[in-house]
Amino acid sequence: MTTPAKPPRYRRVLLKVSGEVLMGDTPYGIDMKTVGQVAEDIAEIVRHGVELCLVIGGGNIFRGLAGAAKGMERASADYMGMLATVMNALAMQDALERVGVQTRVQSAIPMASVCEPYIRRRAQRHLEKGRVVIFAAGTGNPFFTTDTGAALRAAEMGCDALFKGTSVDGVYTADPKKHPDAKRYDQLSYLEVLAQDLRVMDASAISMMRDSGIPIVVFSIRERGAFLDVLTGDGVHTVISEDRHDPK
């Protein structure tokens, strides 16, 4: 195990990963090589004593809004999206346990043959025992995204920060893939994100983190080792907090 130059800034964190990240370079579905790389980064964090829980989106398999746009009833489409997050959670669980990390998958939609139901106190106990808890099926309700589900679970678990792993290394003034001259923010306040409609996360998720006082850290999960670098304060990232100053 490598020792970081600085100790981790947070004791307990929630990592939100979009389903699209798990596609890797493929156009659809789950790329197990990419899942394995993310699992190795998570394992490194756990070995440094950080308690970690995880929420994965389902956009690589099915996106509720896309289904609704094609004529499907919105609630049914959202439930299909929730089931997609369960498949991603099981894939991540397998990858994590292959690298020696104990995990539990908890679903907001009960499915006892596949995983545990979501029980807050049980999830907290898993974290205290050093297990990674993967929360699946969002909030269990249609019309809420996995961003909102991640914010809710971060608040319920008493996390010190919510990390959002994306394909870019922070929050920009515009999409850097489409606008090469876009500028990256080092720090933002919750209100600035909402006022500028920066679309880092859903407005409901941003508001919940603001009410809970939990900072949001946006970084690129695609770069091997970036998670640990950002967790120790050295990696490239954007911090969203109340006063534009990293609380740690």
**CA–CA distance, 241 with 130 (Å, rounded to integer):** 27
pLDDT for 4 beyond 60 = no
Cα–Cα distance measured from residue 90 to residue 134, given in angstroms and rounded to the nearest whole number: 9
Q: Give per-residue pLDDT as tens, 25-75.
A: 888 899 999 999 999 999 999 999 999 999 999 999 987 567 666 788 999
Query: For the chain, how long is the longest CA-to-CA vector?
Result: 53
Does 4 reside within a domain? no
Q: What is the pLDDT of residue 240?
A: 97
Sorted by sequence, the CB contacts under 8 Å of residue 196 that are 6+ apart come out as none
Predicted TM-score (pTM) of this structure: 0.92
pLDDT band at 248 (very low <50, low <70, confident <90, very high): very low
Would you say residue 5 lies in a domain?
A: no
Distance CA 248, CA 242 (A): 13
- Look at the chain and report how many structural domains it folds into: 1
Higher pLDDT, 218 or 3: 218
pLDDT score recorded for residue 177: 86
Cα 52 from Cα 44, distance rounded (Å): 11
Residue 89 is assigned to a structural domain of this protein: yes
Q: How many residues in total does the chain contain?
A: 248
d(CA 65, CA 67): 5
User: At 44, is the secondary structure helix, strand, or coil?
Assistant: helix
User: Which range, of 3-7, 49-53, 225-229, averages the lowest pLDDT?
Assistant: 3-7
- Looking only at the bridges linking them, the beta strands covering 216-220 and 187-189 are unpaired
The two tokens of residue 226 are 């970036």
Domain contains 3: no
The encoded tokens of residue 18 equal: 């979009």
Is residue 173 one of the residues assigned to a domain? yes
CATH number at residue 56: 3.40.1160.10
Domain of residue 69 covers 12-241
- Asked if residue 247 belongs to a domain, the reply is no
Q: For residue 247, what pLDDT band results from cuts at 50, 70 and 90? A: very low
Q: What is the mean pLDDT of residues 149-159?
A: 98
User: How many Cβ atoms from other residues are within 10 Å of residue 229's Cβ?
Assistant: 18
Q: Rounded distance, CA 89 to CA 106, Å?
A: 9
Q: Kindly state whether residue 65 falls inside one of the protein's structural domains.
A: yes
Report yes or no on 7 lying in a domain.
Answer: no
